[in-house]
Amino acid sequence: MDIQLYNTLSHRAERFEPVTAGVVRMYNCGPTVYDYAHIGNFRAFVFADVLRRFFEFVGYEVQQVMNITDVGHMTEDNVADGGGQDKMELAGQRLKEAKKQGVANVSNPDDPYEVASYFTEAFLADGKALRLKIADEHPQRMPHATAHVTQMIGIIERLIEANHAYVTDDGAVYYDVATFPEYGRLSGNTLDKLHTGAGGRVNEEHTAGKRNPADFLLWKHDASHIMKWDSPWGVGYPGWHIECSAMAMHTLGVDTLDIHTGGEDNIFPHHECEIAQSSGATGKPFANYWMHTRFLLVEGEKMSKSKGNFYTVRDLLARGVDAAVLRYELLRTHYRSNMNFTLKGLEDSQKAVNRMRSFIEGASHGSWGGVYSGQSDVERAFVEAMADDLNISAALGAVFKWINEVDTPASEDVAALQRIDAVLGVLTPAEADTSVAPAGISDEEIEVKVRQIQQARELKDYAKSDAIRDELNDAGVEVQISRDGVNWRRKMRLD
Ligand code: AMP
Ligand code: ZN
């Protein structure tokens, strides 16, 4: 099968050819566990999941690895002057506050490992709710940076030996970018451009002892850091970029990966530096295909805590959003376009998912584990669109055109949609998700109130039944009373 993928490295779509026939080895830059991951992060992770599921659908074995960055790193402000604060330390302070208010169950927020483990669990719960297959493969396929410092030190030693890295007087180890002529190929930020000032990011670290302002940190000697390890260059901690080189090559067991993904902000400096480190150490290409997701915006704007348009998965589930609907919303825009998250969009996604669910109504929700064999026209159209650099709009367009044409779905139609759902992952209703319980009123409490409404109506006490209905409405639960009985559902809210 001919699969075309847009490769950031070559700036064009290319035919996918794996290193090993039939196998895809893929690495996704994963979450930093200093906080709950937001829906922008999850856009990147859902994309990686859909990519994996598509390759599996057409018969590949996919070895997917997504890391967990649990080493603390400094905030970007004032680092050159020795300022800044460790992000894991800040996360601990926030958790301490949350613990006082009784909203975070963490026994010791002063311990950075506990803080990391708290947010890792939160990530896994959110990831499972969004049906990310990788969340079920933790810890085998989701390596932790803190468990791979030995491998990082190994790569740094090789880089020093090969003269790609040097040690400064104060024990910092830097990558010497001038020794790697390909630096800048991925991002376009070549050294001549960086010399003339391509932006502040190259100055992200302490600059003393650097040969070139664009050189980046591999190891920082700092015995006072909250997370520290012994190394040939003194007690300290690794730079951020080296983590991914080490975890990718070690966990996948190869020097050259097929696919490496991340959000568009990862292109520079993170992935540019990963290439320099990995290829500098092995002399081989690091990844053949680089794929990057454009950012998610909220109502057309960049998401930020100060603007109040910042959403985590758990926020939205607590507001009654079905996790599968959120997944659908996050996957339905092409990954190389910005996606705009809106309430209207979520409502449209709810309708789309409802439409698919009513199509297979009555059929059991078993997941399909077979291999695509071009069974039906709709599957062929779906695969053809997805094989074109994951053209999800065309793929979904084909599915809905077909759904609208089929009057009464026969069992083979139901089976076809279920097979397609092996990629989409939205048919199973959220009721089956137990990973993240919605906040506020519980299902059991709602059921009790619904029974009270029924009793009141049997006694023709409509004032009472209306009052309970209003009460539920205020708690975010919509109650529908009809001749057939009383139905309820949680309302979606974005405010
Ligand atoms: P971080 O935890 O900040 O390292 O981010 C994890 C992943 O989410 C990275 O691949 C980022 O590029 C990606 N990411 C961060 N913000 C957004 C956003 N608004 N939209 C899409 N992806 C994002
Ligand atoms: Zn990374």
Q: Whose CA is nearest to atom 19 of ligand 1?
A: 40
Structure tokens at 330: 């996050």
> How confident is the model at residue 202, as a pLDDT?
46
Q: What is the pLDDT of residue 198?
A: 43
Superfamily for domain range 297-424:
Isoleucyl-tRNA Synthetase; Domain 1 (1.10.730.10)
Dihedral angle computed from the Cα positions of residues 121, 123, 129 and 135, in that order, rounded to the nearest 10 degrees: -80
Q: Is 293 in the pocket of ligand 1 (CB under 6 A)?
A: yes
**Which atom of ligand 1 approaches the CA of 266 most closely?**
12
Closest atom of ligand 1 relative to the 32 alpha carbon: 2
What would the two tokens of residue 253 be?
Answer: 């067991």
pLDDT tier at 200 (50, 70, 90 boundaries)?
very low
For residue 297, give the ligand 1 atom closest to its CA: 19
Which of 88, 130, 204, 265 is the pocket-test mutation for ligand 1 (most atoms within 8 Å of CB)? Answer: 265
Report long-range pairs for 205-208 (Cβ below 8 Å, ≥24 apart).
205/79, 205/80, 205/239, 206/79, 206/80, 206/82, 206/172, 207/80, 208/168, 208/170
Give the pLDDT confidence score for residue 278 in this predicted structure: 98
Which stretch of DSSP H or E encloses residue 13? strand 12-15
pLDDT-derived band at 103, boundaries 50, 70, 90: confident
Instruction: Quickly state the pLDDT bin for 495 (edges 50, 70, 90).
Output: low
User: Of the residues 34, 36, 41, which should be mutated to test ligand 1's pocket, given the most ligand atoms within 8 Å of the CB?
Assistant: 41
Q: Is the CB of 41 under 6 A from ligand 1?
A: yes
Whether the CB of 263 sits within 6 Å of ligand 1? yes
Determine whether the shortest distance from the Cβ of 67 to ligand 1 is under 6 A.
no
Helix or strand (DSSP H, E) at 152 = helix 149-161
CATH number of 4-293: 3.40.50.620
The reported pLDDT for the residue numbered 263 is: 98
Question: Ligand 1 in contact with 32 (CB < 6 A)?
Answer: yes
* Residue nearest atom 18 in ligand 1 by C-alpha distance: 40
Decide: 130 and 240 in contact? Cβ < 8 Å.
no
The mean per-residue pLDDT over the stretch 357-372 comes to: 78
Token pair belonging to 379: 């599957």
**What is the per-residue burial (b if ≥16 Cβ within 10 Å, else e) of 198-233?**
beeebebbbeeebebebbbbbbbbbeebbbbbebeb
Strand 61-66 with 165-167, pairing: unpaired
Give the torsion through C-alpha atoms of 464, 469, 470, 476, to 10 deg: 160
**Ligand 1 atom nearest to 303, measured from its CA:** 19
**Distance of alpha carbon 304 from alpha carbon 309, whole angstroms:** 6
Q: What is the pLDDT of residues 236-250, one digit of tens each?
A: 999 999 999 999 999
| Overall average pLDDT of the 331-357 stretch | 96
Q: What is the pLDDT of residues 28-81, one digit of tens each?
A: 999 999 999 999 999 999 999 999 999 999 999 999 999 999 998 877 654 544
